[in-house]
Amino acid sequence: MDALILSRIQFGANISFHILFPTITIALGWLLLFFKLRFNATGEEGWMDAYRFFVKVFALTFALGVVSGITMSFQFGTNWPGFMEHVGNIAGPLLAYEIMTAFFLEAVFLGIMLFGFRRVPGWLHTLATFLVAFGTTMSAFWILVLNSWMHTPAGFEMRDGVAHATDWFAIVFNPSMPYRLLHMLLASGLTCAFLIAGLSAFRLLRGDRSVGVQKAMKTGVIVAAGLIPLQILAGDMHGLNTLEHQPAKVAAMEGNWETGPHVPLVLFAVPDQGARQNNYEISIPSGASLVLKHDPAGVVPGLNDFVAADGTPLHPPVAPVFYGFRVMVGTGMAMLGLSFLGVFLMIRRRKTQPHMAERLGKWPLRAFVAMTFSGWVATLAGWYVTEIGRQPWLVTGVLTTADAVADVPATMVLSTLIGYLTVYATLTIAYISVLFYLARKASNSASPVSLPEAPRSAAAAPKLLPVGVSQ
């Protein structure tokens, strides 16, 4: 394998590992703030218990996010020097603002948020929690501005093969930025909601009857059910916007070869790029025209429009984009089904069952446990659709991926790639097992029959803290 393909795999592996953790921390910061504010408002220990449990999850996730992020910032130089040489004048300021307005904010206030509870006044602790959440969101904003600009570049001109900024407003608010930012923030909220619901369901199934776990479960289910319809709507708008700016990507997502009206919506197929057709296709007639043009006779672009005269395809590889899209949407539908079921059960058994575990029932709880990391699956699938769908371009119409790659020996890339993959696999396994270990430990130390009606006094609270709470 050559350095290009290895560098691509390496970049893909690094960013895939990195994004697992930001997707959680971005929204978890806000949810922690919510727990904290609910506690401030009601004084119920249950909210503080929820805070204490998930702040541990947050600390661990944040550490993984930071260290994998540092790898990312070196990647540009080690593997993609062409990127900064050609578009550095635009990427540079965006990355600089991310570091200055986001990274320092979150990193400095994280210390106060995690360990400052007894050292600073309550309002400062709440403010620190807010600033950390705000920092992670700002960081998402800046990096998504850059990423969206790479998909739909605007506000620049080329001089001697180097991009120069002409209009920063157009660069920041480039055509796909609002959609991508919204879709990603919602993805983060959903990932978090299912993580919270999954870990809480795991504790409920183990007989944990503490107030905190019930409050967390309820929050997880409601947030999930509230966000998923918005996400589907945002995804639909995102797709329409992509159709306008990157039609070849949408054609690959839909698995549509020929341009025309009454294009069917392909539910499943095995696309064959060599023969330029789909095998084993299951589809809804005129569906794609309806979804993309809101009219059964709408004309939808097909992949055959994007082939050079000599037959080389100018569109992205079809199969990964096609399947990735179905994995994302499929996961989204599963999220919709389960979270709505959860809310339905919570409302219907509200009177008859005082406790969350009985209200939801064994099988739905198990389904939530199974879906704990479903957000990761959908998010990764979504990013693969987006990024592979941009190929062969690195910056659409400006710079190809092949022109940006570093001239380092393939063996060197391969050896570091193996190193990274080993570490990433180990850490991902360690991360998941530690989360469930923390959940098990918390449910073991919670008293099995605490009554939800009687709020525990503050003095009794510390006994709920297992030994390992201190760092």
Partner 1 sequence: MTFFGDPEVWLPLVFAGLMGFSILVYVVLDGFDLGVGILFAGAGSEERRDRMVASIGPFWDANETWLVLAVGILLVAFPVAHGTILTALYLPVALMLLGLILRGVAFEFRAKAPARQKWAWDVAFFGGSLLTALSQGFMLGMYIMGLEWSWMTASFAILTALCLVAGYAFIGACWLIIKTEGELQRGSVRAAQWALWGVVAGIAAVSIATPLVSPRILERWFSIPEIFVLIPLPVGSIVLVAVLAVILRHLPDATDTWSWLPFAGGTALFATAFTGLAYSFYPYVVPGDMTIYEAAAAPESLIIILVGSLFVLPVIVSYSVLAYTVFRGKASELRYD
340 near partner 1 (CB under 8 A): no
31 is a site residue for ligand HDD (CB under 6 A): no
Q: Is 147 in the site for partner 1 (CB under 8 A)?
A: no
- Using CB under 6 A, which residues numbered 89 to 148 contact ligand HDD? 102-103, 106-107, 136, 139-140, 143-144
Tokens at 290, concatenated:
């309806």
Copy the structure tokens of residue 174.
């480039």
- What does 77 interact with, of ligand HDD, partner 1, ligand HEM, none (CB < 5 to 8 A by kind)? partner 1
Q: 25: which 2 tokens?
A: 């921390």
Nearest to 212 by CA among 28, 455, 45: 45
303: Cβ contacts below 8 Å, ≥ 6 apart: 248, 251, 252, 256, 257, 276, 313, 315, 318
* Binding mask of the shown chain, residues 428 to 457, with x at each position contacting partner 1 by CB under 8 A: --x---x--xx-------------------
Site string for ligand HDD, 351-370 (x = CB under 6 A): --------------------
Give the one residue of 30, 103, 142, 376 binding partner 1; rule: CB under 8 A: 103
Tokens of 316: 């992205």
Of all helices (H) and strands (E), which one includes residue 394?
Answer: strand 393-395
10 Å Cβ neighbour count for 178?
16
Q: How many CA atoms lie within 13 A of 96 on its CB side?
A: 7
Is 334 a residue that touches ligand HDD (CB under 6 A)? no
- Separation of alpha carbons 450 and 218, rounded Å: 18
Q: Which of 375, 438, 439, 446 binds ligand HEM (CB under 6 A)?
A: 375
| DSSP code at position 391 | T
Number of residues binding to partner 1, judged by CB under 8 A:
75
User: C-alpha angle 207/209/215, rounded to 5°?
Assistant: 125
Choose among partner 1, ligand HEM, ligand HDD, none what residue 136 binds, the Cβ cut-off being 5 to 8 Å by kind: ligand HDD
Residue closer to partner 1 (CB basis): 108 or 377 = 108
The backbone torsions φ and ψ at residue 465, rounded to the nearest 5 degrees and listed phi first, read -80, 115
- Which amino acid, 330? G
Pairing of strands 399-400, 393-395: antiparallel
Per CB under 6 A, 332 contacts ligand HEM:
yes
| Contacting ligand HDD within 395-414 (CB under 6 A) | none
**Residue 383 touching ligand HEM (CB under 6 A):** yes
Three-state SS string over 40-92 comes to HHHCCHHHHHHHHHHHHHHHHHHHHHHHHHHHHHHHHHHHCHHHHHHHHHHHH
Alpha-carbon distance of 337 to 324, in angstroms, equals 20
Residue 13 near partner 1 by CB under 8 A: no
Span 311-330, contacts to ligand HEM by CB under 6 A? 328-329
Rounded Cα distance between 397 and 321, Å, is 19
Residue 100 interacting with partner 1 (CB under 8 A): yes
Residue ranges in contact with ligand HDD by CB under 6 A: 15, 18-19, 21-22, 25-26, 62, 65-66, 69-70, 72-73, 102-103, 106-107, 136, 139-140, 143-144, 184
Residue ranges in contact with ligand HEM by CB under 6 A: 8, 11-12, 15-16, 19, 80, 83, 143, 146-147, 180, 183-184, 187, 190-191, 231-232, 235-236, 238-239, 242, 249, 328-329, 331-332, 335, 375, 378-380, 382-389, 391, 394, 401
